[in-house]
Amino acid sequence: MTAPAAPHRSLDELTLGSSMSLEDLVSRDGLNEMVKSAHELFGVPIRVFAEEGKLLADAAESIDLYAYLNTSRAGRAALSEVVAAVKALAPGPAGESQYRCVTGALYRVVAIEYDSRQIGRMILGPFAEPSSLPPSTLLQLDTQLDADQLRTLHAKLPHADEQTVGSVAHHLAKVLDLLLFSGHRALLTSNMHLASVRESFRELEDKNQKLQVAYDRLKELDRLKSNFLATVSHELRTPLTSIIGYSEMLVEGLAGDLTNEQRDFVQTIRDKGDQLLALIKGLLDLSKLESGTMSLRKNHVDVAALVKDVVSTMAPTARKKEVELAFEVEKGLPSIWADAERLRQVLLNLTENAIKFTPVSGAVRLAARITGMEAQNAGDTGGMVLLGARRTAVEMRVADTGIGIPETERMRVFDAFYQVDSSSTREAGGTGLGLSIVKRLVDGHDGTVRIEANQPRGTVFVVTIPVKRATIG
Ligand SMILES: Nc1ncnc2c1ncn2[C@@H]1O[C@H](COP(=O)(O)OP(=O)(O)O)[C@@H](O)[C@H]1O
Ligand SMILES: [Mg+2]
């Protein structure tokens, strides 16, 4: 997008202080209309010229006498002298003046002024005074021209007395003044409008530019943050593995017997170390997913086996919390094209959440069944968007009877570090990374994840993964 050239506009330009021209102020149609009606009324030819000499309006018929003069050499010469003289006719300091041409007819020129500046001229004529006779200059112009013919044609010149032409000119000047005034006003208004539009455009562009700068900066910061997270997590992991390893050895008595109290303390160190390691692994996963460097090792995955495995892994946690954990897998489920370990991580995260946010004596149910899903992107159909193209998919549900997620929070819980209730009185632990990893892993499988409300209470996470790998064509 290119901005219109918008140099600094002076006030003068805005108000047309010096650049006003007759043509800008009055429409040519309006001018023509005005001179035509005056011509019809008084029979005198009228022409309006702009200051630079351009003819703007013209109400005149061809005059037979002049046509006849044009047939002779001396006549033509005399006429071109008239044309030149009339063109150069200046109104003078009084605002009007007069010229008598070779035929004895008169031309009257009146200045068109606006704001005490001359912006054009109006020329009335030629006209002959009533009962005037052809002058000798005309009769003796060329022997080729017939005197009788000249007399007849002279009598057919437009006739008007000087006084009438004077008052017609005066009258026209007044009308023009009115036209000019309203034209000026309209022009000013539209110029003001243009100026304000130009100004708001400039302001918008300014803001746009600032936004772009801020956006670029944020993007850069986001990249730095991801890099920082990746580096720090990586550097933390190595010493942490030692802490966990050594505390494990201590607990197992490899460095001699510990008192009960010592063993408790070291066990706490170990547990907290494990928690920290899980967090760091999450951060690393997330940064790998964000930077697109996590590679998925996809293969044929048996969903039924996967669900059973997740349930047996989480069963002790569920039991401890007195939450019932059950599953249901549709018979004859096809295997899906996925990274088994990552998909297991998805289901584990969801199940862990489900148990965590479900109070004692609640229930968590995993289910898997076959379903269909819309083709996700153009790549699925080889670049073509096939309306209603559906792929066979497997749907995995993790339903709980817990505290539920309000509708307004359902998009946000997939953001990294976002927790619905982040207050310090919050009972459940965690860092808010689980679901953001889930979302990215599911995306990496061309799948979808959504949240529904469970009945009568609780949450259902629905993960849908296509059965076949995306094929081109
Ligand atoms: N099954 C669920 N029931 C209610 N709230 C949930 C459930 N799963 C996730 N949430 C909400 O989403 C937030 C983000 O979840 P997650 O990314 O796994 O982080 P974390 O479990 O570490 O808090 C949780 O803190 C919780 O507020
Ligand atoms: Mg979680």
Class (C level, CATH) for 204-289:
mainly alpha
Q: Which residue has the higher pLDDT, 7 or 86?
A: 86
> What spacing in Å lies between the alpha carbon of 76 and ligand 2's midpoint?
104
Expressed in angstroms and rounded, the spacing between residue 350 Cα and the centre of ligand 2 is 7
Mutate to test the pocket of ligand 1, among 357, 407, 409, 441 (most ligand atoms within 8 A of CB): 357
**Whole-number pLDDT of residue 212:** 97
Q: Are 250 and 265 in contact (CB under 8 A)?
A: no
**Ligand 2 mean position, distance from CA 429 (Å):** 9
The neighbour count for residue 413, using CB atoms within 10 Å, is 20
Residue 472: per-residue pLDDT: 46
Protein fold of 11-202: Beta-Lactamase (3.30.450)
Rounded to the nearest whole angstrom, what is the distance from the C-alpha of residue 404 to the centroid of ligand 1? 10
Q: Identify the pLDDT of residue 378.
A: 44
282 alpha carbon to ligand 1 midpoint, in Å?
Answer: 15
Q: Tell me what the mean pLDDT of segment 221-244 comes to.
A: 88
With the most atoms of ligand 1 within 8 angstroms of its CB, the residue from 281, 349, 353 to mutate is 353
* Closest of 333, 334, 263, 336 to residue 298, by C-alpha: 336
**CB-CB contact of 266 with 274 (8 Å):** no
Pairing of strands 363-374, 324-329: parallel
Is residue 46 a contact partner of residue 172, using CB atoms and an 8 Å limit? yes
What pLDDT shows up at residue 14? 55
Which residue, among 346, 301, 355, has the nearest Cα to 326 in the 3D structure? 355
Report the separation in Å between the CA atom of 421 and the middle of ligand 1, taken as the mean of its atom positions.
9
Which protein residues have a CB closer than 5 Å to ligand 2 (ion)? 353, 430, 434
Structure confidence by residue, pLDDT tens digits, 99-145: 999 999 999 999 988 888 888 999 998 999 998 899 988 888 888 88
Asked if residues 472 and 379 have their Cβ atoms less than 8 Å apart, the reply is yes
Average pLDDT of the residues in 52-79: 90
CA distances from 86 to 73, 107, 150 (A): 20, 7, 22
Return the ligand 1 atom nearest residue 461 CA.
1
Pick the CATH number of 296-466 from 3.40.50.720, 3.40.50.620, 3.30.70.2740, 3.30.565.10: 3.30.565.10
Averaged pLDDT for residues 289-317: 91
Return the beta strands (E) in 292-431 as ranges. 299-301, 324-329, 336-338, 363-374, 390-400
> Domain locations in the chain?
11-202, 204-289, 296-466
Atom of ligand 1 nearest to the CA of 402: 3
Instruction: Name the band, by pLDDT with cuts 50, 70 and 90, for residue 471.
Output: low
Q: Would you say residue 12 has pLDDT above 60?
A: no
Cα distances (angstroms) measured from residue 310 to each of 285, 366, 459: 20, 9, 18
Q: In what order do the strands lie in the sheet with 96-100?
A: 55-59, 46-50, 117-127, 106-114, 96-100
* pLDDT, tens only, 148-203: 999 999 999 999 998 889 888 888 888 888 888 888 888 889 889 999 999 999 99
Question: Is pLDDT above 60 for 17?
Answer: no
- pLDDT, residue 429, reads 72
Over pLDDT 90: what percentage of the chain?
55
Counting ligands in written order, the one closest to the CA of 286 is: 1
Nearest CA to ligand 1 atom 27: 420
Average pLDDT over every residue of 282-291: 85
Spatial CA neighbour of 149 closest among 60, 43, 67, 62: 67
Give pLDDT, residue 41: 87
- Six token digits for residue 330: 């549709």
Q: What are 369-404's pLDDT values in tens digits?
A: 999 887 655 444 444 555 556 788 999 999 999 999
pLDDT at 275: 87
Which-ligand-closest: CA of 351?
Answer: 1
For position 141, what pLDDT does the model report? 87
Phi/psi of residue 462, each to 5°? -115, 115
Q: What does the mean pLDDT of the chain come to? A: 87
Closest residue to atom 23 of ligand 1, CA basis: 432
pLDDT confidence bin for 93, thresholds 50/70/90? confident
Whole-number pLDDT of residue 265: 95
Residues with CB under 6 A from ligand 1: 349, 353-354, 357, 400, 402-405, 413, 418-421, 430-436, 459
Tell me what pLDDT residue 463 has.
97
Residue nearest to atom 9 of ligand 1 (CA): 353
Half-sphere exposure of 135 (CA within 13 A, CB side): 10
The protein residue with its alpha carbon nearest to ligand 1, atom 19, reads: 432
From the alpha carbon of 418, which atom of ligand 1 is closest?
14
Closest CA to 347 of 313, 299, 300: 313
